Amino acid sequence: MEFESTSLRNVWLIKPKIFKDDRGHFLESFRREIFKEQGVEYNFVQDNISSSVKGAIRGLHYQKNPQSQSKLVMAVYGEILDVAVDMRKDSPTFGEHFSAILNDENRNMLLVPSGFAHGFSVLSEKATVLYKCDQYYHKASERGVLWNDPALQIDWEVENPILSEKDKDLPLLRDVNPDDFF
């Protein structure tokens, strides 16, 4: 696996080694010792799978402390634009984002640590996304930022987004309760 640093400290683009032959391909999506060698240690406790149609946007979501989640995200089918937004109030990159194309060809993964909001848009006809979390889902701690907040300047690469009612009503970054930052 290749760990590529991004413009946001502690957000990693991970490129697994893919072994291809006439049968198809094989890869390791997670191996604790390899992550540990990179200084990236998480105790993942929950796996989630979402299936979405083209144009869907999920996010931007996070959980406030102490239930804040780190996520390892992979598109197992289709293609997504995966996005992490820095929510660490004392960070020099607060409010900035990093995005990467994850798909079933490149098999890249994005490691989104605690302190970041996360979301993705679906670029293919359908996409199935698998993500590991190091904390359990905790409804009372769930927070978010509006996907199209002009301050974030995220190009989701989607013309007519499909959103949940919950995601349509998330606040702008400037309106987030300061106690919900990291």
Could you read off the pLDDT of 94-112 as tens digits, one per residue?
999 999 999 999 999 999 9
Question: For the chain, what is the mean pLDDT?
Answer: 96
Residue 27: band (very low, low, confident or very high) from pLDDT cuts 50, 70, 90: confident
Per-residue pLDDT at 58 exceeds 90: yes
Q: Domains in the chain, start-ordered, CATH in brackets?
A: 2-180 (2.60.120.10)
Residue 131: active-site member: yes
Active site residue 77: no
Q: Is the pTM of this model over 0.75?
A: yes
**Which listed residue (42, 61, 62, 118) is catalytic?**
61
Dihedrals φ, ψ of 137, to 5°?
Answer: -60, 135
Nearest to 67 by CA among 174, 182, 172, 177: 182
What average pLDDT does the segment 74-97 reach? 97
